[in-house]
């Protein structure tokens, strides 16, 4: 399918192909997550392409974070298969514990609420992220830690890798400061650098633009595009800021009340009447007045802030 066709074609809600035709890195297959009687994620299927940015959007309570929690092993899905296909190996994430998902399947994550070690220095936060690789290099022995074998070399490499990421997020000058003393936007960038230090093949970012000003949002866009292009990894992004979503995503999946309601390129999704209805809270049969559609179009296109953002529903 050409990109022009992908931009206009309506896709089945169970479609698991990547609109650009890229190789799927992650395939979510009939995922359901129930909490007692509440179905937070309801039979959701999609695929996220390798070296692409896939955004998961939807109104508050749509099930986006629950989906991330299933992918990263915080929750065991009630039903469904989550396949990560990387370097010729398949990992079935729904069967793995959270630490194995990060160590063996190399899925990295940042959180809605920043979770750095505030009393550790910026550099130490990046070294902690490489702890597993360093322990492997030590052979898990005291002799290893004393420098016999490959530990010293691995430690030097870990410092170099941390420094590289400090440069990318413009925090070299703050390396020795406590992470908790950084301004909010810098803490967000440090979280991304920390996740990248663990060398993920898939990076899941939960609202990375939350609380950022327009200049910081633009810098975030540049950073995420750099990560995708230079490091050729897949990024999965939950985000309410449409200026971020529409500008950098290759593919957008829309959830509402736990169900997938739309899936396609940014151009397709922002013109999809189902998505417009979901953001307005309208029923399927309701006619949407053209002036309302015209009002919402810049919000979905990311050129105007969402007036209902943060209000819940
Ligand atoms: N551990 C839990 N126990 C019970 N219900 C939960 C749990 N986690 C999430 N939910 C419910 O599942 C639904 C989906 O929540 P979720 O946080 O995944 O939505 P979201 O799309 O990420 O929302 P937001 O954009 O506000 O972060 C909500 O009704 C929420 O209250």
ipTM of the modeled complex: 0.97
Summarize pLDDT for 31-75 with one digit per residue, the tens: 999 999 999 999 999 999 999 999 999 999 999 999 999 999 999
Q: Is residue 42 left, alpha or beta, with left meaning phi > 0 and alpha meaning psi from -120 to 50?
A: beta
pLDDT mean across residues, the chain: 84
Lowest mean pLDDT among 42-56, 111-125, 136-150: 136-150
Read off the pLDDT band of 311 (50, 70, 90): very low
CATH label, 3-106+200-301, candidates 3.40.50.300, 1.10.645.10, 2.40.110.10, 3.30.70.1350: 3.40.50.300
CA of 76 to the centre of ligand 1 (A): 15
Strands 107-110 and 259-264: unpaired
Q: For position 62, what pLDDT does the model report?
A: 95
Find out whether the beta carbon of 60 lies less than 6 Å from any atom of ligand 1. Answer: yes
Which is more confidently placed, 309 or 186? 186
The b-or-e profile of 179-210 (16+ CB within 10 A means b, else e) is beebeebbbbbbbbbbbbbbebbbbbbbbbbb
Read off the pLDDT band of 310 (50, 70, 90): very low
The b-or-e profile of 263-297 (16+ CB within 10 A means b, else e) is bbbbbbbbbbeebbbbbbeeeeeeeeeeeeeeebe
Q: For position 117, what pLDDT does the model report?
A: 82
Q: For position 16, what pLDDT does the model report?
A: 81
CA of 3 to the centre of ligand 1 (A): 34
pLDDT of 1 higher than 80: no
Find out whether the beta carbon of 59 lies less than 6 Å from any atom of ligand 1. Answer: no
CA of 32 to the centre of ligand 1 (A): 13
Read off the pLDDT band of 5 (50, 70, 90): low
Q: For position 71, what pLDDT does the model report?
A: 96
CA of 61 to the centre of ligand 1 (A): 5
Read off the pLDDT band of 252 (50, 70, 90): very high
pLDDT of 10 higher than 60: no
Q: For position 313, what pLDDT does the model report?
A: 41
pLDDT of 297 higher than 80: no
Read off the pLDDT band of 139 (50, 70, 90): low
Find out whether the beta carbon of 66 lies less than 6 Å from any atom of ligand 1. Answer: yes
Distance between CA atoms of residues 42 and 34, nearest Å: 8
Q: Which atom of ligand 1 is nearest to the CA of 62?
A: 21
pLDDT of 129 higher than 80: no
CA atoms within 13 A on the CB side of 257: 9
Summarize pLDDT for 169-195 with one digit per residue, the tens: 999 999 888 999 999 999 999 999 999
List where CATH 3.40.50.300 sits in the chain. Answer: 3-106+200-301
Lowest mean pLDDT among 51-55, 70-74, 115-119, 159-163: 115-119
């Amino acid at each position: 399918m050409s990109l022009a066709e992908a931009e206009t074609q309506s896709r089945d809600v169970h479609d698991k192909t990547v609109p650009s035709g890229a190789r799927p890195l992650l395939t979510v297959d009939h995922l359901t997550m129930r909490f007692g009687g509440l179905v937070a994620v309801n039979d959701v299927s999609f695929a996220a392409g390798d070296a692409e940015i896939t955004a998961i959007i939807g109104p508050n309570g749509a099930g986006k974070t629950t989906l991330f929690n299933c992918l990263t092993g915080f929750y065991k899905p009630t039903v469904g298969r989550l396949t990560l296909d990387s370097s010729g190996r398949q990992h079935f994430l729904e069967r793995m514990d959270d630490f194995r998902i990060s160590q063996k399947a190399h899925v990295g994550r940042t959180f809605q609420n920043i979770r750095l070690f505030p009393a550790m220095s910026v550099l130490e936060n990046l070294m902690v992220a490489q702890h597993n690789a360093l322990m492997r290099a030590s052979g898990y022995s005291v002799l290893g830690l004393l420098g016999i074998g490959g530990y010293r070399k691995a430690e030097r490499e870990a410092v170099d890798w941390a420094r590289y990421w400090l440069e990318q997020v413009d925090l070299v000058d703050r390396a020795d400061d406590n992470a908790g003393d950084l301004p909010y936007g810098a803490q967000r960038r440090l979280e991304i650098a920390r996740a990248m230090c663990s060398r993920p093949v898939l990076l899941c970012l939960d609202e990375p633009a939350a609380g950022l000003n327009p200049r910081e949002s633009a810098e975030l866009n540049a950073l995420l595009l750099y990560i995708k292009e230079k490091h050729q990894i897949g990024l999965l992004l939950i985000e309410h800021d449409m200026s971020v979503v529409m500008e950098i995503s290759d593919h957008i999946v829309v959830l509402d009340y736990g169900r997938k309601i739309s899936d396609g390129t940014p151009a397709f999704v922002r013109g999809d009447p189902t998505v417009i209805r979901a953001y307005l809270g309208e029923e399927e049969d309701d006619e949407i007045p053209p002036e309302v559609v015209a009002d919402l179009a810049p919000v979905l296109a990311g050129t105007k802030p969402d007036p209902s953002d943060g209000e819940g529903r």
